[in-house]
Chain A
Amino acid sequence: GQQVMQIPQYQHVQEGEDFTTYCNSSTTLSNIQWYKQRPGGHPVFLIQLVKSGEVKKQKRLTFQFGEAKKNSSLHITATQTTDVGTYFCADTSGTYKYIFGTGTRLKVLA
């Protein structure tokens, strides 16, 4: 079945360091979404990518969609303690449901 894998599973960084999580799909994606879940919270939508090779930025966050539309990445520049949480990608391609990736849990050490 359809699988969306994320690496790494966990990442600990010092505050101010950069962070990247990668999302890989076994099938071609028509679009992909990213969500963030704070500890004890619920997933919150960050962004949606649709076009091959698309790059979008939100302040310190940079989202990229692969040229072949089978992978995506989220890069955070100069992490802050407020970036702590689990980041999920979600595939919404051609189906009627959101298939979430395995998630990357980020801890930022002050």
Chain B
Amino acid sequence: EAGVTQFPSHSVIEKGQTVTLRCDPISGHDNLYWYRRVMGKEIKFLLHFVKESKQDESGMPNNRFLAERTGGTYSTLKVQPAELEDSGVYFCASSQRTGKTEAFFGQGTRLTVV
């Protein structure tokens, strides 16, 4: 069974540019989460989808971040325009049952804004 996959693994962009991150959760997992880890610090929650619906987006830093999950399958996270402080590792995770079972993480996308 394939795990959670993320693309790209690395991205280096200039300040002001746009970047779109993609996450393919484990098949059958309705719950999809986006997290960000900056400079080796804590793993901060960004948002949570249940199927195609945004359950909680309280962790999204500002309106430069837009997440979608069309059809309840894969998800994208777009940053537009990117700022220097957006640099970090963006992790996607999926789970079967909300909060009661383990979360499976993707390998992450390392975003560097220069």
Contact = CB atoms under 8 A, between A and B. Distances in A.
B91 A98 contact: no
B100 to A, nearest CB: 7
Interface in A14-71: 31, 33, 41-45, 48
DSSP majority for the A interface? loop
A67 B102 CA distance: 23
Interface residues of B, number: 26
A82 interface: no
Nearest to A105: B40
Interface residues of A, number: 23
Contacts of A98: 33, 45, 93, 99, 103
Ranked 10 nearest A-B pairs via Cβ: A45-B102, A92-B99, A100-B43, A42-B105, A102-B42, A43-B105, A97-B48, A96-B98, A96-B55, A97-B45
Interface of B: 31, 33, 35, 40-45, 48, 50, 55-56, 91, 93, 98-108
Nearest to B99: A92
B106 A42 contact: yes
B45 A48 contact: no
